[in-house]
Amino acid sequence: MERTRWYKDRVFYQIWPRSFMDGNGDGMGDLWGVLEKLDYIKSLGCGGIWFSPLYPSPGADCGYDIADYMDIAPEFGGMEAFRQVLEGAHARDMKVLMDLVINHTSDEHEWFQKSRRRIEPYTDYYIWRPAKKNGKLPNNWDSNFEGKAWTYDQVRGEYYLHLFAVKQPDLNMDNPLVREEVKKILRFWLDLGVDGFREDVITYISKPEGLPDDHLFPVNKGMGQYNHGPRLHEYLREFKQDVLDHYDCMTLAEAPLVSPRKALTYINEDSGELDMMIQFQCVCADCLFTDWLPLPFSLRKLKRAFSTWQRKLHGRAWNMLYLENHDHPRIVSRYGSERFREESAKTLAAAMLFQQGTPFLYQGQELGMTNCPLESIDEYRDVQTIWNYHHSALKKSPEERLARLHRSSRDNSRTPVQWSGEPNAGFTTGTPWIRVNPNYTQINAAEQETREDSVLNFYRRAIALRKSLSCVRDGDYREYRHLSGSHYLYSRDDGKQRILVVCSFRDRETAFRAPRGFNLEKAELVLANYPTPQPDTLQPYECRVYLWK
């Protein structure tokens, strides 16, 4: 089947189902809620939706612990509601991506239940190891979420590997039967009509022979061994040749710690096994590798991340663009300013949306939603957050630890979408499963619908503009004044038209002059977040897009 690469002309919207919209009043988002909001997503100019997991799951990691890959959780509306959503999305020319989580399953998955009892053919579906004689664990790897990566199972009398939560045992991808299961899952959803997959931590699925200790990484031990493991390319090729190549679909692969050079080995357009990668540099401009090691925000670091990926992939592979998802705190609170919330939300939108690639917006980003200050550890829901609170190596006071959660926790972006000023932000008529950000009375979609200059309407205009400009899809990218710690300036040029994007990241006025070769008097100002831009000054977090044709 010919690959038409339709994803290049679309903007995607990520739905994290639990907190998107509750349709039946039980306090949790669901597909009935999504159905109500399809027109809203379309109104943004989006041409696709990525659904975080919708499958039956005990919810140890909010659905990333799957108990059945070929069904939809009843609390989300089951298969029937999913079919309606799929049809509704397609009727509006929106593609649908499922989250494919195959590094691990839930420990409540039937495969694990049988594997721990050594029932064939499931015995080797997971990564089991006997205890060592000296009582040591099979190796020194850490779990990404909860202590060590090994847990002893009483039923089988062996340890199993879990790179994430205790309730997320890793699958043994070296077992051909497991790979056949993966292919069955892919075919099942593609045959049902879904258009592609976001592949969860896919770079972890091939573990090195013998599971050696990791001496490379001081924290998160193991990462140096299992990330980009020895047979990863081989397995991805197998999935592609046996299944994906037979559909005009797309794949988006989550890839922690990937450089553009490494990424090109997977996503180059001649022979790559995947279409796009989720890299992490663009969400590490205020931290060291992870949100849990915070640093002051550095615009230069952000610009370097943007520009490196733009330059290195141009003409060879396709970028995935994002600033938010369900794994990171809200971007306005991180890279922008809560004081200049609307201005900075818009500048961040402009900084991302005119680059080359396929943008993904995360629910609430289009409203400029902020981090949510939960008041006690009991209000947090995320497994990683709760573990980090209780096991903080730094032994800080409870107040200091809460302050860290407020800065770093994924729950910041998992509070319900703020639809209106009604109780619970119009998200639910019941009791929400996690606290609603109390600022919903000011920040909500209904209010923003009534205002031309809202963040929401800015996103709509920016996306419409993006779609109308040929240079954004295929033009060259150039950055100017890359050393500036105040401004991000870039141009796109396809020979027929040229744009200059100007973004200030300062909370005060700054002097501005266009880079050489850009005559602003001949340009049309096609997007701005202040009503009357001044030629030689930028207001706090001001952004502008100029067009020459």
254 counts as catalytic: yes
Q: Which does 61 bind (CB under 5 to 8 A by kind): Ca ion, ligand GLC, none?
A: ligand GLC
Distance CA 523, CA 298 (A): 30
Pick the closest to residue 273 from 238, 247, 249 (CA basis): 238
Q: CB 383 → ligand GLC: shortest distance, Å?
A: 8
Residue 107 makes contact with ligand GLC by CB under 6 A: no
Residues 30-89 within binding reach of Ca ion (CB under 5 A): 30
Active-site pick, 107, 199, 200, 273: 200
Q: Which helix (H) or strand (E) holds 96?
A: strand 95-100
Q: Which does 305 bind (CB under 5 to 8 A by kind): ligand GLC, Ca ion, none?
A: none
The CA R_g of the chain, rounded to the nearest whole Å, is 23
Residue 507 makes contact with Ca ion by CB under 5 A: no
Residue 286 near residue 294 (C-beta atoms within 8 A) = yes
Residue 324 makes contact with ligand GLC by CB under 6 A: no
Q: Which is nearer to Ca ion, 21 or 149 (CB)?
A: 21
Residue 351 near residue 112 (C-beta atoms within 8 A) = no
3-state secondary structure of 294: strand
Residue 327 makes contact with ligand GLC by CB under 6 A: yes
Window 21-40: contact mask with ligand GLC (x via CB under 6 A): --------------------
The correct pick among 24, 308, 392, 420 for binding Ca ion (CB under 5 A) is: 24
Classify residue 112 as exposed, middle or buried by CB count within 10 Å of its CB (0-12, 13-18, 19+). Answer: buried
Q: Which is nearer to Ca ion, 125 or 427 (CB)?
A: 427
Q: CB 103 → ligand GLC: shortest distance, Å?
A: 7
The correct pick among 22, 214, 324, 411 for binding Ca ion (CB under 5 A) is: 22
Q: Which does 67 bind (CB under 5 to 8 A by kind): Ca ion, ligand GLC, none?
A: none
The correct pick among 11, 21, 28, 161 for binding Ca ion (CB under 5 A) is: 28
The correct pick among 22, 200, 275, 343 for binding ligand GLC (CB under 6 A) is: 200
Pick the closest to residue 321 from 287, 361, 374 (CA basis): 361
Distance of CA 61 to the CA centre of its chain: 15
Q: CB 318 → Ca ion: shortest distance, Å?
A: 35
Tokens 């990241």: give the residue.
Answer: 505
Q: What distances in angstroms separate CA 375 from CA 19, 149, 319, 397, 405, one per listed residue?
A: 19, 30, 38, 15, 10
Residue 410, both tokens: 């994924």
Distance CA 107, CA 112 (A): 6
- The stretch near Ca ion (CB under 5 A) out of 29-37, 97-105, 126-134, 165-173 is 29-37
Q: CB 200 → ligand GLC: shortest distance, Å?
A: 5
Residue 290 makes contact with Ca ion by CB under 5 A: no
Residue 323 near residue 282 (C-beta atoms within 8 A) = yes
- The stretch near Ca ion (CB under 5 A) out of 17-25, 301-309, 469-477, 478-486 is 17-25
9 counts as catalytic: no
Distance CA 528, CA 381 (A): 38
Residue 61 makes contact with ligand GLC by CB under 6 A: yes
Q: What distances in angstroms separate CA 403 from CA 261, 294, 373, 393, one per listed residue?
A: 37, 12, 9, 15
Q: Which is nearer to ligand GLC, 341 or 381 (CB)?
A: 381
Active-site pick, 61, 199, 254, 411: 254
Pick the closest to residue 253 from 271, 228, 279 (CA basis): 279
Residue 164 makes contact with ligand GLC by CB under 6 A: yes
Dihedrals phi, psi of 57, to nearest 5 degrees: -160, 145
C-alpha torsion angle, residues 484, 489, 490, 495 (rounded to 10): -120
3-state secondary structure of 65: coil
Q: Which does 164 bind (CB under 5 to 8 A by kind): Ca ion, ligand GLC, none?
A: ligand GLC
- Catalytic annotation, residues: 200, 254
Which chain residues interact with Ca ion by CB under 5 A?
A: 22, 24, 26, 28, 30
User: What are the residues binding ligand GLC (CB under 6 A)?
Assistant: 61, 64, 101, 164, 200-201, 254, 326-327
